[in-house]
Structure 1
């Protein structure tokens, strides 16, 4: 397997509107990001991924782009961007910009031209079909509920897409020592080679979303650990030696992992750390979403008026019109709504969580009084410091980057365990993803072993029971057979 800097990197995703506001208008901005670069560098971040900051009418918070070559005034200026990029590079970090090439705003010049006439040169930039009986051409559904024909957004892997991606790679990507990540919702393992194969792939890595389907949409459900094992093992083994995974549990479109797969009350710290170790040490480049490193949680705003997400608002309108109660629909939004991950970054216990001196564009999660960066950095046993340990452990041991992945205890109903092996160095990661004690056989009983990391102070290697949401990372002085 070829060694590459981006395989050894740790990435951090920023949703700029909610990260840090520098001018008091209640909206995060580029200068706000710049003011927190030292924080990110100290955490151990190598690559910063910034969600769109381009001009947009903001029907979907910036993903409906009207100008790919500018900076939205809410976020700052092109001079601010140049300064931010320069300061990122000064700190030895790199920047990924979110390039939305699957759709545009209906205010983009291309769309305006495309809809102006059937023989316009831009006509085929978009999909047009004649309506039927004064209605939509067909029953295509939008990812945001309702008809796709009334939506500005879509998520399609159309026939012929590889031709365009090949051109993008040949004319742009291949000319630079860069890191590229593709959002590949719907791409299967069988198609992975043409997306991320070291020879034929168009990207360095892709986000696959199979495991996110396990969130559930109708309130909290128990985690289907066997399906989880099957999905991760499938992608880990399929890309081993031929491609690369992008590892993640959270992003701007997903709920907070500790609130859906963990327990954000009784086992908040333990389950946040357990989930971190579970995904972070697989083969691939790990991505941390802002606030994940302190265990930020879902939020339960009481009314739909407190929410901003177009998907949540459309869902509420559609479901209540279909007869569902307010309480039932809100339960689904509380569980998996996208605004769960878009509330302002909780920097401190101060008013508005230290995010802004003004009125934030969306309400702050009220648990910022107890859960914030300042408190987490000051406490040695915090989730924040556990992430720092994970990052350092991965950087210190090539086996946790390039090592092959082997699922262990495949039939266990509570524990997700795997080993990583590289040039005779073997690590084992064990994670009890449940709220009850989990008996297990002792790994490495025939070898000398060293416990590198645990989320319980009283953890002992010889114990054969994992406590609720306990995780252990240890190295074997030998190779599992």
Structure 2
């Protein structure tokens, strides 16, 4: 019986783990070329260990022309030279494991780079053995095969003069989509995944994995009158063979290794998520959903997420609660505020207008998330409250999506003027997440001795790791305590989530409980910069286990205050 119980715990080790995402180009440069690299990450593993996390997720480090910052892979079994070589990776992996850290790789298999040898062969001719590795179609009336738009603006098809056909690219033209209907494609991917697993990695984060099953016949999508191209997401997300493909992947790869898997799944519903991340373990361990990331999008669909709206607590709480309750006992949640594609949460849902509010609201948001059921993900710099960069000129931006969107919305469609679009970029651009890690107040924030590939955030002298480590009331140590509590208190992993009675109608305070046989946790968070008065049923023997204020004032809830009681 003891052996059986121990095996179950090991099998589900990711349930009470915390993940730290590293964006390699922006984490630490070791050779002065202005680009972060693997030796730089290895140098900082002790810092990551000090934070207390369990898993390090590396955004793509594979060989790539970097059209989309590494999400365009030219060779899945080689390291991008900007980041180092395979020896550098082996050194990183070995040191991580010695420190008790696990390594999760980014898996990008909806598409490859057009420089991948599979695509280079595929475009040579219609009779090439690799032709069917990608999605090729004849045009219709001298136009693309259908009306789909790319997620990076423009059409989702590119004409190839050499063979007189179009190939599909849901993202950049240099990112052709793989044809998952071809079993040779699938098993080539599984072989590659097993190759990395045999090297000793501990899991995969799977980029837009729910796009891999395309609809039969590739029909036109519905298009709004003011759109140049139709949004293909309703047709490509959660396709008719997606669960078949993932179960096959699980059988060929995951079931043979005790690894963690998380699938990025745009437009996923709770019902679909229960299939992807069912506790039976037939597909993935968890998925990233984006509903709470879309609450501040523009009300004009043609503008997508480009806006200056701020999500209300009412909407945010309702969405988080929906996912907590729908998946409970059936599937597993991922918990996150930030990643490489999202703006900084303290600027987005918190308040970075003053230093006091930045610190308080960052801790408040962390408290809301880390006491919910699921596996928390922390993006580099979140643990010190890094903010949006808010660049003022289009020339400051590197992100392809941001630049393309500006030109389409301002120059082509004339939906916004330039200053308004720049304001929206300052709020939502992916560059906000990708500015170099702020280690100290020296030149280039201690990230590099050379010219950095991405502009630094101007506030690095005020916000940096060195400063946080020297202050025991910092955001860093607050995150460290949250992680420690998760490791020590099974109720955070297993407890039942419920809103406090009536809290669903409170526009300013988020209050919920976690309950198990071990007792109750009451989490209270003020989402505003106002001092509020609320009464909750708190027993006399309740113990405050964490708060972002030093002294409890009972029913009084101060600006951005967060506190957790145990009883």
Shorter-chain TM-score: what band?
Answer: over 0.9
More displaced stretch, 365-374 vs 318-327: 318-327
Helix, strand or coil: the match of 1:98?
strand
Residue by residue, what CA displacement relative to the aligned partner does 1:205-229 show, whole Å, maximum 9, x if unpaired?
1111110001333443232222222
1:394 to 469, 474, 486: 486
Q: 1:159 to 1:117 in 2, by over 3 A?
A: farther
- In the TM superposition, 1:152-163 aligns within 5 A as 152=173, 153=175, 155=208, 156=211, 157=237, 158-163=239-244
The structural deviation recorded for 1:239 is 1.8
The structural deviation recorded for 1:320 is 1.9
Residue by residue, what CA displacement relative to the aligned partner does 1:281-330 show, whole Å, maximum 9, x if unpaired?
10011110000000000012221111110000101111221333221111
Say if 2:472 is the partner of 1:384. Answer: no
Say if 2:318 is the partner of 1:318. Answer: no
Mapped partners of 1:48, 1:200: distance in 2: 22
- How many residues are aligned here? 473
More displaced stretch, 156-165 vs 297-306: 156-165
Mapped partners of 1:313, 1:222: distance in 2: 23
The structural deviation recorded for 1:164 is 1.7
Contact 1:215–1:261 under 8 Å retained in 2: no
Q: 1:92 to 1:437 in 2, by over 3 A?
A: same
Contact 2:350–2:358 under 8 Å retained in 1: yes
Residue by residue, what CA displacement relative to the aligned partner does 1:440-473 show, whole Å, maximum 9, x if unpaired?
22232x452111111122332x2x2322211111
Helix, strand or coil: the match of 1:420?
strand
Say if 2:179 is the partner of 1:171. Answer: no
Mapped partners of 2:288, 2:382: distance in 1: 18
1:8 to 16, 24, 29: 16
Residue by residue, what CA displacement relative to the aligned partner does 1:234-291 show, whole Å, maximum 9, x if unpaired?
2112222222111100000000001010111221111111011111110011110000
What residue number does 2:376 align with? 286
What residue number does 1:226 align with? 314
1:435 to 525, 529, 541: 529
The structural deviation recorded for 1:176 is 1.3
What residue number does 1:274 align with? 364
What residue number does 1:416 align with? 510
- In the TM superposition, 1:220-369 aligns within 5 A as 220-266=308-354, 267-321=357-411, 322-323=413-414, 324-369=416-461
Mapped partners of 1:18, 1:443: distance in 2: 46
Contact 1:434–1:469 under 8 Å retained in 2: yes
Helix, strand or coil: the match of 2:551?
coil
What residue number does 1:114 align with? 122
What residue number does 1:78 align with? 86
Mapped partners of 1:46, 1:200: distance in 2: 21
Mapped partners of 2:99, 2:513: distance in 1: 33
2:100 to 84, 87, 92: 92
Q: Which has the higher contact order (CA 8 A, sep 6+)?
A: 1
More displaced stretch, 219-228 vs 202-211: 219-228
The structural deviation recorded for 1:191 is 1.3
What residue number does 1:467 align with? 558
Helix, strand or coil: the match of 2:14?
coil
Say if 2:549 is the partner of 1:456. Answer: yes
Mapped partners of 1:11, 1:472: distance in 2: 23
Mapped partners of 2:382, 2:472: distance in 1: 17
What residue number does 1:103 align with? 111
Residue by residue, what CA displacement relative to the aligned partner does 1:81-122 show, whole Å, maximum 9, x if unpaired?
011100000001100000111111111112222222233333
What residue number does 2:167 align with? none
Mapped partners of 2:493, 2:336: distance in 1: 15
More displaced stretch, 232-241 vs 244-253: 232-241
Mapped partners of 1:376, 1:402: distance in 2: 31
TM-score where L is the length of structure 2: 0.81
Helix, strand or coil: the match of 2:157?
helix
The structural deviation recorded for 1:74 is 0.4
What residue number does 1:479 align with? none
Mapped partners of 1:372, 1:219: distance in 2: 28
Mapped partners of 2:106, 2:537: distance in 1: 42
Residue by residue, what CA displacement relative to the aligned partner does 1:124-153 show, whole Å, maximum 9, x if unpaired?
322222223433222212212222225345
Contact 2:296–2:310 under 8 Å retained in 1: no
Say if 2:52 is the partner of 1:44. Answer: yes
Structure 2: tracts of 5 or more residues without a match: 159-171, 178-207, 212-236, 298-304
More displaced stretch, 200-209 vs 57-66: 200-209
Mapped partners of 1:221, 1:382: distance in 2: 29
Mapped partners of 1:141, 1:439: distance in 2: 50
Residue by residue, what CA displacement relative to the aligned partner does 1:144-169 show, whole Å, maximum 9, x if unpaired?
22222253457523321222211110
Structure 1: tracts of 5 or more residues without a match: 477-481
What residue number does 1:199 align with? 280
Alignment RMSD (CA, Å): 1.6
What residue number does 1:17 align with? 25
Contact 2:54–2:100 under 8 Å retained in 1: yes
The structural deviation recorded for 1:177 is 1.2
What residue number does 1:148 align with? 156
